Amino acid sequence: MQFTDAVTVEGKPRRTGDGYLVATAKAVRTGIQLYAGSEVGVTDKAVVRVYRPPEEVFADASLQSFSHAPVTINHPAEAVTADNWSQLAVGEVSTAAKKDGEWVHLPLVLKDAAAIAAVESGKRELSAGYTCELDWTPGITADGQSFDAQQRNIKINHLALVDRARAGSQARIGDGAWGAMPIDDATHEDSPMNLKTVTVDGIPVEVTDQGATVIATLQQRLADAAKKASDTETSHAALIAAKDKDIATRDAEIDKLKGQVLDAAALDKLVTDRANLIALAAKIAKDVKTEGLSDADIRKAVVTAKLGDAAVKDKSDDYINARFEILAEDAAKSADPFAAAVRDGITPTNDDNKTVTDARAAMIADMQSAYQPAKAN
């Protein structure tokens, strides 16, 4: 993983007899430094605390990597190697690096006239470009500071002369040789600090890139929390609505069952109506079976018995009820003697014939003797 750190050229540079410029600087200090989570490949943390243990910063291999490291004007877009050294390097770390308090002390020599002129004109800050490994084992330093990761196997690649480095030590992970934000005059430490305007609760605030990242992360967390609360409220309202609907359904079922409960008068009427229907069915079709049948089925059975299956096939209940009523009316008429006599006429019996014959004979006899005088007693 590649990093860049800002340092400052110390003391007053001096010229050699050959016109080279000799200077000293401190680079790559120990301790904890803060990085935006996005800069070190972490998405669940806005800020990551990275610890540079003294045993790593001052390790022999790390210090040796500073020796003869090239000095460049601003950060190149790629790592400095033998293939591009002649195009990029303007000097080098002249002798071995060594420990200087919590910093690494670096003696520099600049051999390029343009670079020397730039330093003498005020381009006096340095930004170290190096690689390291991040150990994501969290812990606490000896002085009680917590950290999320540690740098290990620190190896210098180059030192860049820059116009202005950010305050303190900053880092970026690069693409190409150096990271997601290319290390050049426009985007890295060597350019003046660029501030971004971020709106917080309607108030515009100017912050650094790292501050903008932290604010954006916190705003997103707030938005996520608000959405979660809204979703929970919506879900709760839906549960209450479903429960209310269930209660309403149960109440309707109870009311329906209550409506089906008969009082004594209604029950008596139901029994009477049933008995009358059975009696009427027997009068219309005496052999019809009514036991176990509903009222509708009794009417259908009666119509079938009197008129045949065709009379009820594919017919509606209303039609069958109407045919039953007609049959009932016919049965009532048959029970009335006067109505039957009017409808069918009178059929005399044998006794009736004898009475009529005797009456006729008596009437004839009476007419034959009517002229004779009455006999005296």
Give the lowest-confidence range in 53-57, 118-122, 201-205: 201-205
Q: Are residues 218 and 142 in the same domain?
A: no
Q: Are residues 110 and 203 in the same domain?
A: no
Residues constituting the chain: 377
Q: Are residues 46 and 134 in the same domain?
A: yes
As a whole number of angstroms, the distance between CA 134 and CA 35 comes to 12
By residue range, what is the domain housing residue 251? 195-261
Residues near 168 by beta carbon (within 8 Å), at least 6 away in sequence: 6, 33
Q: Are residues 227 and 300 in the same domain?
A: no
Higher pLDDT, 184 or 336: 336
As a whole number of angstroms, the distance between CA 348 and CA 352 comes to 6
> Looking at residues 191-212, what average pLDDT do you find?
66
As a whole number of angstroms, the distance between CA 373 and CA 377 comes to 12
In a domain, residue 132? The reply is: yes
As a whole number of angstroms, the distance between CA 210 and CA 212 comes to 5
CB atoms under 10 Å from CB of 375, counted, come to 5
Q: Are residues 155 and 202 in the same domain?
A: no
Tokens encoding 50? 């990275």
In a domain, residue 143? The reply is: yes
Most confident listed range (5-14, 149-158, 199-208) = 149-158
As a whole number of angstroms, the distance between CA 11 and CA 27 comes to 14
In a domain, residue 376? The reply is: no
> Looking at residues 201-217, what average pLDDT do you find?
73
For residue 57, pLDDT over 50 is answered with yes
Higher pLDDT, 177 or 91: 91
Tokens encoding 351? 């006794």
Mean pLDDT of the chain: 78
Tokens encoding 93? 């770390």
Q: Are residues 78 and 39 in the same domain?
A: yes
In a domain, residue 359? The reply is: yes
pLDDT, tens digit (0-9, with 9 covering 90-100), for 160-190: 888 764 323 332 322 223 332 322 333 333 3
Q: How confident is the model at residue 377 (pLDDT cuts 50, 70, 90)?
A: low
Please answer whether residues 284 and 306 qualify as being in contact, where contact means their C-beta atoms are separated by less than 8 angstroms. Answer: yes
In a domain, residue 246? The reply is: yes
For residue 283, pLDDT over 90 is answered with no
Percent of the chain with pLDDT over 70: 75
Q: Are residues 77 and 180 in the same domain?
A: yes
- Beta strand pairing status for 98-100 and 139-140? unpaired
> Looking at residues 22-35, what average pLDDT do you find?
81
As a whole number of angstroms, the distance between CA 51 and CA 359 comes to 149
- Beta strand pairing status for 149-162 and 174-175? unpaired
In a domain, residue 375? The reply is: no
Q: Which residue has the tokens 């116009």?
A: 163
Backbone angles phi, psi at 252, to 5 degrees: -65, -40
Number of domains in the chain: 3
